[in-house]
């Protein structure tokens, strides 16, 4: 009797434990469903797709991301300690637009072309330090770049393999062999899927074994090479930003962690990560720093045309696209608190604007650098002075000038925000340089 009773009690306990376990599993399942639903809703509210996922995971807000200032960076492609690929990149979170400017690797950055040596070429500066390359690019462009990203050819190979290859229209037949570099390039022309190794061949190619290269119309030798590099970079961006690559994010991050060098701090990377996923790869504006290739002192160099370079830099980096609102009036994506009149950026003549620069950095060399930057672009710097040390650069618009000009100043200095001020200084703008300059 007691044996049957114990058996019944065991069965009852077993049923109870099964019910409890089933209830717990149901609760966990419901929690997962609710969490997944909430996550999916947040992803949808944050823009959907890969951008929505990253925005939700990081915890940023879409509007905050969209209002981030334009981001500038120097992109460097390194092979055997030399930077054969040098590009200035700009991305505007407010518009999703990006710009790329190729800097020829033989660009002369010395003091006198008549005494030129190989060390006067810009691609040699990285051997000293990345900062020396940034300084040289800033001197050529008049910009104030602070960030750089260096990608070794191995990183390019691994990234392309990580995202499953990149489809690209190879412009010409490529046949080149160089045992000293262990480089053997053999590519057929036409649209095709390139793996990591072939991607490296593509971006490193300059000419064939028989001396032929890209056509004159495409851009021969280094000019064609830089065009191919820019166009391939856009193709890589398109492929990387596809939603299906969310499953490969660990592989992509590993490539960046192990093989990419940068001075961009983590907080900035996190802040801009969702915005960078909104890049419209079909709307990236590209160009090359204008100039002429020639021999100086027996050294092949590229002499940049300063006047034409100023126009290209202005077009790609210092102007803000004008959009039309619902009533047909043009508006701009500036940061000023008030709406001002808007004019086409192509009509802006910086010589028409007068500027006062007050130094709040505590460094006289920074004041000299800022004045030199502004005057090189055409601005009239009529007053200079000092003020109390301040953290942030501020541009005071005193005569209700256009936002396009405000944004050009901010872009040129590489930092700053704009406000409206009183017309009491006999200048159009007062710039207070802060420690962020």
pLDDT tens digit at each of 437 positions of the chain: 555 555 656 555 556 666 666 666 666 655 555 545 544 555 455 565 555 555 555 555 556 667 788 889 999 988 776 788 899 999 888 887 889 999 999 999 999 999 999 999 999 999 899 999 999 999 999 999 999 999 888 888 999 999 999 999 999 999 999 988 888 999 999 999 999 999 999 999 989 999 999 998 888 777 888 899 889 988 887 787 676 776 777 787 778 778 888 998 877 877 776 666 667 667 788 899 999 999 999 999 999 999 999 999 999 998 755 444 434 443 333 333 333 334 444 457 899 999 999 999 999 999 999 999 999 999 999 999 999 999 999 999 999 998 889 989 999 999 999 999 999 889 999 999 999 99
- In the chain, the largest separation of any two C-alpha atoms, in whole Å, equals 114
d(C-alpha 241, C-alpha 111), whole Å: 43
Same fold across 68-305 and 323-433: no
Supply the pLDDT for residue 301: 95
Which residue stretches of 241-345 are H helix? Answer: 249-259, 266-276, 306-313
Supply the pLDDT for residue 10: 58
- What secondary structure letter does DSSP report for 121? B
Q: Does domain 323-433 have CATH number 3.30.70.2390?
A: yes
Supply the pLDDT for residue 278: 66
d(C-alpha 355, C-alpha 393), whole Å: 14
Domain-by-domain residue ranges, the chain?
A: 15-64, 68-305, 323-433
CATH level 3 topology of 68-305:
Aminopeptidase (3.40.630)
The contacts found for 399-403 with CB under 8 angstroms, 24 or more apart, are 399/423, 399/428, 400/340, 400/341, 401/340, 401/353, 401/428, 401/429, 402/332, 402/340, 402/341, 402/342, 402/343, 402/348, 403/320, 403/332, 403/333, 403/334, 403/336, 403/340, 403/342
**Nearest partner of 73 among 54, 53, 91, judged by Cα:** 91
Supply the pLDDT for residue 324: 41
d(C-alpha 127, C-alpha 349), whole Å: 39
- What secondary structure letter does DSSP report for 299? E
Strand 330-331 relative to strand 417-420: parallel, antiparallel, unpaired?
A: unpaired
What tokens appear for 194 in the block?
Answer: 């390139």
- Cα 322 to Cα 326, 342, 390, distances in angstroms: 13, 8, 32
- Cα 135 to Cα 197, 246, 248, 365, distances in angstroms: 32, 36, 36, 14
Residue in the block written with tokens 């999703």: 96
Supply the pLDDT for residue 54: 52
């Amino acid at each position: 009797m007691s044996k049957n009773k114990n058996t019944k009690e065991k069965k009852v306990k077993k049923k109870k434990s099964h019910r409890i376990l089933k209830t717990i599993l149901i609760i966990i399942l419901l929690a997962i469903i609710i969490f997944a639903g909430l996550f999916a809703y947040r992803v949808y509210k944050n823009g959907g797709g890969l951008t929505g996922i990253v925005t939700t995971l990081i915890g940023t807000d879409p509007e905050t991301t969209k209002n981030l200032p334009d981001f500038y960076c120097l992109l460097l492609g390194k092979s055997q300690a030399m930077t054969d690929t040098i590009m200035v990149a700009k991305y505007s979170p407010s518009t999703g637009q990006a710009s790329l400017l190729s800097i020829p690797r033989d660009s002369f950055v010395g003091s006198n072309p008549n005494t030129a040596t190989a060390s006067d070429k810009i691609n040699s500066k990285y051997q000293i330090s990345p900062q020396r390359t940034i300084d040289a690019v800033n001197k050529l462009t008049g910009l104030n770049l602070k960030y750089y990203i260096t990608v070794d050819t191995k990183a390019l190979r691994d990234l392309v393999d990580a995202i499953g290859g990149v489809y690209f229209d190879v412009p010409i037949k490529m046949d080149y062999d160089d045992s000293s570099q262990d480089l053997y390039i053999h590519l057929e022309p036409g649209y095709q899927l390139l793996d990591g190794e072939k991607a490296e061949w593509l971006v490193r190619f300059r000419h064939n074994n028989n001396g032929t290269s890209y056509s004159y119309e495409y851009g021969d030798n280094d000019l064609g090479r830089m065009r191919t590099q820019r166009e391939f970079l856009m193709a890589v961006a398109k492929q990387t930003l596809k939603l299906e690559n969310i499953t490969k994010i660990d592989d992509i991050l590993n490539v960046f962690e192990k093989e990419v060098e940068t001075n961009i701090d983590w907080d900035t990377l996190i802040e801009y990560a969702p915005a960078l996923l909104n890049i419209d790869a079909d709307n990236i504006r590209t160009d090359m720093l204008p100039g002429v290739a020639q021999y100086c002192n027996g050294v092949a160099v590229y002499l940049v045309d300063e006047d034409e370079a100023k126009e290209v830099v202005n077009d790609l980096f210092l102007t803000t696209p004008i959009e039309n609102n619902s009533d047909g009036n043009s508006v701009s994506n500036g940061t000023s608190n008030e709406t001002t009149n808007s004019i086409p950026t192509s009509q802006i003549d910086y010589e028409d604007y007068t500027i006062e620069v007050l130094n709040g950095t505590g460094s006289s060399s920074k004041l000299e650098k800022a004045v030199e930057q502004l005057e090189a672009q055409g601005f009239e710097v009529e007053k200079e002075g000092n003020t109390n040390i301040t953290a942030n650069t501020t541009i005071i618009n005193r005569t209700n000038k256009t936002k396009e000009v405000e944004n050009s100043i901010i872009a040129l200095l590489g930092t700053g925000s704009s406000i409206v001020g009183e017309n009491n200084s006999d200048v159009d703008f007062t710039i207070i340089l802060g420690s962020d300059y």
